[in-house]
Amino acid sequence: MDNKDLIAEVTAKAEKWLAPAYDAETQAEVRRMLDNPDKSELIDAFYKDLEFGTGGLRGIMGAGSNRMNIYTVGAATQGLSNYLNKNFKDREQISVVVGHDCRNNSRKFAEISADIFSANGIKVYLFEDMRPTPEMSFAIRHLGCQSGIILTASHNPKEYNGYKAYWDDGAQVLAPHDKGIIEEVAKVSSVADIRFEGNKDLIQVIGKEVDDEYLRQVQGISIDPEVIRRQKDLCIVYTPIHGTGMMLIPESLRRWGFENVHCVPEQMVKDGNFPTVVSPNPENAEALTLAIALAKKLDADIVMASDPDADRVGMACKDGKGEWVLVNGNQTCLIFLYYIIKNRLATGKMQGNEFIVKTIVTTELIRKVAEKNGVKMLDCYTGFKWIAREIRLREGKEQYIGGGEESYGFLAEDFVRDKDAVSACSLLAEICAWAKDQGKTLFDVLMDIYVEYGFSKETTVNVVKPGKSGADEIKAMMDNFRANPPREIGGSPVVLVKDYQALRATDGEGRASALEMPEPSNVLQYFTADGTKISVRPSGTEPKIKFYIEVKDTMGCAKCYDRVNVAAEEKIKAVRASLGI
């Protein structure tokens, strides 16, 4: 299709949004795009429909079929309502939980969704104000609901919003329900199909009562309360980056027994514009600037941050030279699981049926920790719905004690089925108290792990390709990697290739074997003779392709860290050169 045909197509599509069924504000925005001689904005807003995928919706807010607005959110909720009414038709009363974060329009989208559910005869538990995603997950199980949604775009820039759908186990929707919901959403072909007029009798506002029970259960995952009593003055700096974490994380730390918690005042302000940061992502050093400045002033022991919907946790600590450094997502997951395993063993809490979970792109050092300590470790796809699946499959037979992914998500409990920064921040504080009780810092704990289990350095390279042309480029890159797999990377021969789309592993001699995974996924992995692991996957929620690089070394002592770290950086440069990124 040439540009003239594309403009004609999107113009015809946009003109339908000028009908009386659409509100005046939407019509004005569409008219503005139609009248603009530059048609790039019109094309991006209408060249496709914002797809309701297995992760729900996520996109830039605004008018258009490819945007987050009351009509795309409405269609998603109507489709989900239709699916729930079909799937649970014998149930006297179907119920759902509706939550939202701090973003612009999140409350509006949540209230409209509540109206649509109730108009379809479904009882709604609507949170009174913004709440963390993990609490919404908890509430589904706690209130005995069949589904739940949260309006959030996680750590994306302020222009974005999103819609995530959950099932009755509190986890994001998996097969067969994901495909079933997608089909029902696709059937909602016009605004007239959406039942916007709510039934207020079916909407119940919830808040403190759920908060209290959730925080009570979070407090129950503490492994060593005695060490907290001894180190209750641990100096903690916390920032919610304007988001939902402010509602529960300071209170959770207090309930765990920490008495010296300092919140960054400028960021304890609910604001969907995130005025103090470039991006509200705790993975980025810039987002922790104010927190680290406060930590330096107070000579704090730890800095912790949660993203806008408080499911991810970022952290910083002082290194061996007393300088504040960020702890990356792989290190975060590694430290959590090391502490949980080591201290459950030390306190006699292991029963022998425990298991942990990591995603396939997360550091392989976790496998070494698990194997050495006799704990089962499972690998799954990226995304906490897959970790939740492993928990569900083993429920009542084996005990989940922790799991995480490199993208700063961790879950220490099984009463929530998504990553949880509320429990993670609380457990992180306990880890720091345990370290301080031994005269150590969090950085010292990380050095102990590297000395005992080997050194690993990880980096993620995001190649951003926005818009329709970007999506085509990403597909072409994956096709090329499959057609022309690298024989060596960073000077080391490739000894194993895993293609999760074909569900096939191929070794250096060309011998193939099956990969046992629940379904195909568009991920490629390369393992080299020197222990390097590279994973390549297009993002499911953002216009980018991600390269996860992990390189290995040995580290004889904590003082060797600088040397092996520099060597690892050089190896990563060589890997990137090999991959052309």
Chain segment 38-59, per-residue pLDDT in tens: 999 999 999 999 988 878 999 9
Neighbours of 286 (CB within 10 A): 10
Residue range 439-444: average pLDDT? 98
Is there a single domain that holds both residue 442 and residue 505? no
Identify the domain boundary among 24, 47, 70.
47
**Among candidate residues 251, 219, 435, the one with its CA nearest the CA of residue 327:** 435
Chain segment 259-268, per-residue pLDDT in tens: 999 999 999 9
Chain segment 108-154, per-residue pLDDT in tens: 999 999 999 999 999 999 999 999 999 999 999 999 999 999 999 99
Query: In Å, how far from its chain's centre is CA 349?
Result: 29
Handedness of CA 41, 45, 47, 53 (dihedral sign): positive
pTM summary value? 0.94
pLDDT surpassing 70 at residue 2: no
CA–CA separation, 316 vs 292, rounded Å? 8
Pairing between strand 95-100 and 236-239? unpaired
Is there a single domain that holds both residue 201 and residue 236? no
Is there a single domain that holds both residue 312 and residue 390? yes
Residue range 440-460: average pLDDT? 97
Identify the domain boundary among 190, 206, 222.
206
Pairing between strand 324-327 and 313-318? antiparallel
Residue range 398-414: average pLDDT? 97
**Among candidate residues 379, 374, 331, 334, the one with its CA nearest the CA of residue 359:** 379
Is there a single domain that holds both residue 284 and residue 371? yes
pLDDT of residue 254: 98
Strand-by-strand arrangement of the 399-405 sheet:
376-380, 354-359, 399-405, 409-411
Is there a single domain that holds both residue 138 and residue 232? no
Compute CA distances 514 → 500, 502, 505, whole Å: 10, 9, 6
Is there a single domain that holds both residue 42 and residue 59? no
Is there a single domain that holds both residue 63 and residue 89? yes
pLDDT confidence of 541, banded at 50, 70, 90?
low
CATH number at residue 440: 3.40.120.10
How many domains does one find in the chain?
A: 4
pLDDT surpassing 80 at residue 540: no
Is there a single domain that holds both residue 461 and residue 449? no
Residue range 225-250: average pLDDT? 98
pLDDT of residue 1: 55
pLDDT of residue 542: 72
Contact 19, 31 (CB under 8 A): no
CA 101-103-105 angle, 5° bins: 105
Is there a single domain that holds both residue 130 and residue 173? yes
SS (H, E, C) 69-127: CHHHHHHHHHHHHHHHHHHCCCCCCCEEEEEECCCCCHHHHHHHHHHHHHHCCCEEEEE
Is there a single domain that holds both residue 437 and residue 528? no
Q: What percent of the chain has pLDDT over 70?
A: 99
216, amino acid identity: R
Is there a single domain that holds both residue 90 and residue 41? no
Residue range 561-568: average pLDDT? 96
**Among candidate residues 133, 144, 166, 335, the one with its CA nearest the CA of residue 249:** 133
Residue reference for tokens 């995928």: 53
Compute CA distances 367 → 330, 334, 362, 379, whole Å: 12, 10, 10, 9
pLDDT confidence of 335, banded at 50, 70, 90?
very high
Query: H-helix or E-strand containing 160?
Result: strand 160-167
**Is 154 one of the catalytic residues?**
yes
pLDDT surpassing 60 at residue 222: yes
pLDDT confidence of 278, banded at 50, 70, 90?
very high
Is there a single domain that holds both residue 136 and residue 237? no
Q: Choosing from 95, 154, 456, 492, which is the catalytic residue?
A: 154
Identify the domain boundary among 453, 479, 494.
453
- The least confident of 281-285, 388-392, 471-475, 570-574 is 471-475
CA–CA separation, 316 vs 302, rounded Å? 6
| Residue 213 buriedness (CB in 10 A; 0-12 / 13-18 / 19+) | middle
CA–CA separation, 250 vs 399, rounded Å? 28
CATH number at residue 561: 3.30.310
* Residue 101 structural domain: 51-206
Residue range 339-360: average pLDDT? 97
- Mean pLDDT of all residues in the chain? 96
